[in-house]
Amino acid sequence: MLNAFAAFIFRIAGWKIIGRPPYEIKKAVWVGAPHNSNWDFMLCLGARGEMKINVGFLAKSQLFKWYSGWLFRALGCYPVYRNKSGNLVEAVAAMFEQNETLHIAITPEGTRKDVERLKTGFYHMAILANVPLVLIGFDYPRKALVISEPINLSGDLQKDLKLVYNFYLTIEGKHKTWLNEYERTGIIPIFNKN
């Protein structure tokens, strides 16, 4: 019922999905960018309801307070503990191994603030779990959530990230430094995998 309501709000707000949802795949890491607004999460909920694909979300653990944790879990969120030692990449890869069907969304910037480069944890999660990436672009001027075809990764980080960056160059709206620098130089700066 929550998904149907979110899809209804998504439609009446004038939003649409551009691209074909990947119904044929059972597992994927979904990558949402550029992440500029708290509304991005609401758009994802609406698009998830519209597509009828159960995509879960990685969210900062601070959202999972005693009074709100139940809500975020009901919305399909999994807490990310940024300050704990341990490997988030390996934990997410293990989730893929333990589930027959799993779609997890992540924002590779890790914040709504401007960043100079993407974190590559999403890439390493997909490689380790041997699942494709599905890219999501938040295109506010067109009121569209743009979905890529599934990307099966080669293991060549630079080559694969070039596909990711080139997809996001097609998204209209506020581009962040990481994308502007790539557009200007053609160079993909590498961050750590977390």
pLDDT in tens, 97-137: 999 999 999 988 877 787 788 889 999 999 999 999 999 99
Report whether pLDDT(194) > 70: no
Kindly report the average pLDDT of the chain as a whole number.
Answer: 87
Q: What is the pLDDT of residue 118?
A: 84
The three state secondary structure string of the chain is CHHHHHHHHHHHCCCEEECCCCCCCCEEEEEEECCCCCHHHHHHHHHHHHHCCCEEEEEEHHHCCCCCHHHHHHCCEEEECCCCCCCHHHHHHHHHHHCCCEEEEECCCCCCCCCCCCCCHHHHHHHHHCCCEEEEEEECCCCEEEECCCECCCCCHHHHHHHHHHHHHCCCCCCCHHHHHHHHHCCCCCCCCC
pLDDT in tens, 60-106: 788 888 888 888 888 888 887 766 545 888 888 988 999 999 999 99
Q: What is the pLDDT of residue 192?
A: 53
Task: Show me where the domains of the chain are located.
Answer: 2-185
Q: What is the pLDDT of residue 172?
A: 83
